[in-house]
Amino acid sequence: MAQLYFYYSAMNAGKSTSLLQSAYNYHERGMNSLVLTAAIDDRYGVGKVTSRIGLERDALLFNGNDDLHQMIANQPHKPDCVLVDESQFLSKAQVRQLTQVVDCLNIPVLCYGLRTDFQGELFEGSQYLLAWADKLVELKTICHCGRKAIMVVRMDEQGNAVRGGAQVQIGGNDSYVSMCRKHYRELAWD
């Protein structure tokens, strides 16, 4: 039976690396995996899933208006699995469409993304994946103190925590730091 998985974490936990490993495992078994990534995140090239350790793979892009069920159903070869990077950028409707892929097309869907934004709020895609996924898997990373990092702090050019602004600002280690709740509280909460 196919299932919907949500692999979530703070930044720098290896989400993209894990996705790429899963894609490789399917490929190694002679199976076809379809990799999707958010069009909004083009830091490492358009239509690519890239990990910080140098692995990469081509991917189909999705944006907020795409019907993912239709996109997947219309593939020339039925995929054996669907892997979605940057799944926090999915809309509620798209998460629902992925449940249709699982339930109606019997294709497993593995989503990888952030749970919360820099203000500690759920992303829309993450909210509905947490609510509707069959399996939830937390990937762990650590704070500078050694505790588990569950929060992400947005930093400005001077290294100060940013407390307001748009939910989405694409960036990596230059803009965000993963921290435990204690250190996040000291920097980001009033």
48-77 tens-digit pLDDT: 777 777 777 889 899 989 999 999 999 999
Give the per-residue pLDDT at 165. 59
Report all structural domains of the chain as residue ranges with CATH numbers, in order of start: 4-140 (3.40.50.300)
Give the per-residue pLDDT at 160. 75
Catalytically active residues are 86
Give the per-residue pLDDT at 80. 98
User: Whats the size of the chain, residue-wise?
Assistant: 190
Strongest mean pLDDT among 112-121, 123-132, 145-154: 123-132
- In whole angstroms, what is the distance from residue 105 CA to residue 68 CA? 12
Q: Tokens 């993209």, residue?
A: 16
The bridge status of strand 4-9 relative to strand 135-138 is parallel
CA 162 to chain centroid: 22
Residue 6 · residue 75 · CB < 8 Å? no
> Above 80 in pLDDT, residue 102?
yes
Beta bridge partners of residue 184, listed in sequence order: none
- In whole angstroms, what is the distance from residue 179 CA to residue 152 CA? 6
For the chain, how are helix, strand and coil distributed in percent, rounded to 5? 30, 25, 45
Note the pTM of the prediction, 2 decimals: 0.89
